[in-house]
Amino acid sequence: MSEKYIFLAEDNSNDVALTIKALNKCHIQNRLVVVTDGPEALSYLLSPDLENKPAVVILDLKLPFIDGFEVLRQIRANTDTQHLPVFILSSSVDENDRRKSMKLGANGYECKPISFNEFVILIHRICWELVS
Amino acid sequence: MHNKNAPILSDTDHACCMIMDKMSEGALVLTDEGTIAYCNQTFARMLSLAVSQVEGHDIFCFVQNHDGERLRHILSQHPHDAQIEIALIDCELKTIQTLFSIGELKHGPLPSAYVVVKDLSVSSETVTLEDKTRLLAEANKDLESFAAVVAHDLRSPIRHIRSFTELLLEHLQSAADQDSKHYLDVITNATTEVNTIIDRLLYWTSIGSSDVYFSRVDLNVLVRNVVNSLTQEAADRNIEWDIDDFPPVYGESNMLQTALTCVISNALRYTQMQPIARIKIANEPQTANLSNFVLSVKDNGVGFAIPYHETIYDVSQEMHSQEAFEGTGIGLATVKRIMQRHNGNYWASSHLNHGAMFYLELPLYLEL
């Protein structure tokens, strides 16, 4: 059985560092694959050579060049990736964005909390399948 | 002053010339072929020339080629009253956008036309109030969009400061002495405050957003929602509610619920010291403007003196104030803005120790 891993699209290195620390806090030891922009996310996830798909996809909404919405849309449009669990993360809560995320088929739309301790709880919830 | 070769003018004409030289617009008399028989000082000045350098010449010398053809065509039609935009060229070859108002002159021995020349580059005194209002609204929109972008961008660094402070605290653990812990606490609290200010700023800008959808709103439902949730929060208090029935209004229900929450919880707060808090939410009779109605919230609390009340409209104070209206997330200046967005109004009155009255004026939902 292929290993389960987490896929993160996030352009801010501090937020990547916080995600890694949060995963450690949750005792999630799975591999984390990180890309820093929309096109990279799409070329990774939609690649026909990708045999082992991620267990969870976490997308920052504000990504360079192609935003999280567009990445989500394309993930859902592709038969190989349409069933992947995808979570959208944003710096602010915006009801319009939330509605749009759900309409595009996200499994969740979450606001990145300013507190690290709350972020750990959020990561725990998103990646609960992987928590040992 | 005037060209000797120009047609001879009578005394009355001379008097008229003096008046015409005082005009803010240029004035011309043209012959059938377009020769300038007469021009006033203003026109000559437009070209940075003296009158004597202009009279006797063809108007086409001072007009851009393309416009010259159009002008020639119009003049040949002997118009009674025509207007045409003409680009003049001055003596330094600079272009001046003007409006030519042309009319036939029948009194002279030769067919001719008079022209009044208005300089379009000079700002008009007739900028309408409508224009000014529109420009102001556009400027405000720009500022709001900018504020929203800045506020959103501030979230990330605030998050990083807060999160890494928590990580630092955890990292130091027992190595952190009392002072260190205290300093880190201060930093943590400051980030919470900044985050709250960002929330308020973003909410403020969202009120003016064009994304807002107005419809029929059942005020009774909103009022009861607010009263129910506030009553739950203040379960330990003795509160008497007196609530009227309200007509439907035309508005946006989330904003209105927020405004009601602020005003009614305000009433609860000001009545904290009373053994029994009495809050009346009334439907006020409206005689002046029959398409609006007024909802009032009256409490039997400590009230406030009016001069203090004027400061609570200070938005900048509100953004920073910690003790003002905690839990409502917004303050009275935001309530006022919500009312204005609804083309309504908001005001308050009070006397110290005689409670306070808050009024919300809203447009009725009118069945078509």
- Domain locations along chain B: 11-119, 129-207, 215-363
Q: Which residues make beta-bridge pairs with A31? A: A5
Among A25-34, B12-21, B94-103, B192-201, the range scoring the smallest mean pLDDT is B12-21
Is residue B96's pLDDT more than 70?
Answer: yes
* Cβ separation A113–B152 shorter than 8 A: no
Confidence of residue B6 (pLDDT cuts 50, 70, 90): low
Residues of A in contact with B211 (CB under 8 A): 96
* Cβ separation B163–A96 shorter than 8 A: no
Confidence of residue B307 (pLDDT cuts 50, 70, 90): low
Across the interface, which of A91, A96, A119 has its CB nearest the CB of B163? Answer: A119
pLDDT for B124: 58
Residue range B134-138: mean pLDDT, rounded: 86
pLDDT tens readout for residues B186-234: 999 999 999 988 988 888 888 888 778 899 999 999 999 999 999 998 8
Q: Which 3 state secondary structure label does DSSP give A20? A: helix
Is residue B333's pLDDT more than 60?
Answer: yes
- Could you give phi then psi for residue B83, rounded to 5 degrees? -130, 135
> Hey, what's the torsion of the CAs at B248, B254, B260, B261, to 10 degrees?
150
Residue range A27-42: mean pLDDT, rounded: 95
On whether the CB atoms of residues A43 and A71 are closer than 8 A, the answer is no
CATH fold of B215-363, please?
Heat Shock Protein 90 (3.30.565)
Among B184-193, B232-241, B306-315, the range scoring the smallest mean pLDDT is B306-315
Among A68-77, A81-90, B282-291, B306-315, the range scoring the smallest mean pLDDT is B306-315
Is residue B324's pLDDT more than 50?
Answer: no
pLDDT tens readout for residues B271-290: 888 889 999 999 987 767 77
Most confidently modeled range among A15-19, B173-177, B306-310: A15-19
- Which comes out higher in pLDDT, residue B94 or A22? A22
Query: In angstroms, rounded to a whole number, what is the distance separating the alpha carbons of residues A42 and A9?
Result: 10
Nearest residue to A94 via CA among B77, B355, B203: B203
Residues of A in contact with B169 (CB under 8 A): none
Is residue A7's pLDDT more than 60?
Answer: yes
Whether residue B211 lies within 8 A of chain A, CB to CB, comes out as yes
pLDDT for B120: 87
pLDDT for B4: 56
Confidence of residue B49 (pLDDT cuts 50, 70, 90): very high
Query: In angstroms, rounded to a whole number, what is the distance separating the alpha carbons of residues B265 and B326?
Result: 10
Percent of chain B with pLDDT strictly greater than 90: 43
Is residue B27's pLDDT more than 90?
Answer: yes
Residues of A in contact with B156 (CB under 8 A): 12, 14-15, 91
Rg (chain B; Cα; Å): 35
Q: What is the mean pLDDT of chain A?
A: 94
Among A25-34, B72-81, B287-296, the range scoring the smallest mean pLDDT is B287-296
pLDDT tens readout for residues B251-265: 999 999 999 999 998
The end-to-end CA distance of chain A, in Å, is 17
Residues of A in contact with B163 (CB under 8 A): 18, 114-116, 119
Confidence of residue B319 (pLDDT cuts 50, 70, 90): very low
Non-local CB neighbours of A31 within 8 Å, separated by 6+ positions: A3, A5, A6
ipTM, two decimals: 0.92
pLDDT for B367: 76
* Cβ separation B166–A117 shorter than 8 A: yes
Residue range B341-355: mean pLDDT, rounded: 85
> Do the bridges between strand B112-119 and strand B26-31 make them parallel or antiparallel, or are there none, so unpaired?
antiparallel
pTM score, whole prediction? 0.63
pLDDT for B328: 46
The beta strand positions in chain B, using DSSP E, are 26-31, 36-39, 82-89, 95-105, 112-119, 215-217, 239-243, 249-251, 277-284, 292-299, 345-350, 356-363
Confidence of residue B111 (pLDDT cuts 50, 70, 90): confident
Contacts 24+ apart (CB under 8 A), B20-27: B25/B116, B25/B117, B25/B118, B25/B119, B26/B98, B26/B115, B26/B116, B26/B117, B26/B118, B26/B119, B27/B114, B27/B115, B27/B116, B27/B117
- Could you give phi then psi for residue B15, rounded to 5 degrees? -60, -45
The end-to-end CA distance of chain B, in Å, is 70
Among B169-178, B198-207, B316-325, the range scoring the smallest mean pLDDT is B316-325
pLDDT for B287: 66
pLDDT for B286: 73
pLDDT for B140: 82
Confidence of residue B14 (pLDDT cuts 50, 70, 90): confident
B216: left (phi over 0), alpha (psi -120 to 50) or beta: beta
Query: In angstroms, rounded to a whole number, what is the distance separating the alpha carbons of residues B177 and B185?
Result: 12
Is residue B235's pLDDT more than 60?
Answer: yes
| Domains in chain A: ranges and CATH | 5-130 (3.40.50.2300)
The CA distance from A76 to the nearest CA of chain B, in Å, is 27
Q: Is the fold of B11-119 the same as that of B215-363?
A: no
* Cβ separation A92–B211 shorter than 8 A: no
Confidence of residue B313 (pLDDT cuts 50, 70, 90): low
CATH fold of B11-119, please?
Beta-Lactamase (3.30.450)
The CA distance from B233 to the nearest CA of chain A, in Å, is 24
Is residue A52's pLDDT more than 70?
Answer: yes
Residue range B122-128: mean pLDDT, rounded: 66
pLDDT tens readout for residues B153-172: 999 999 999 999 999 999 99
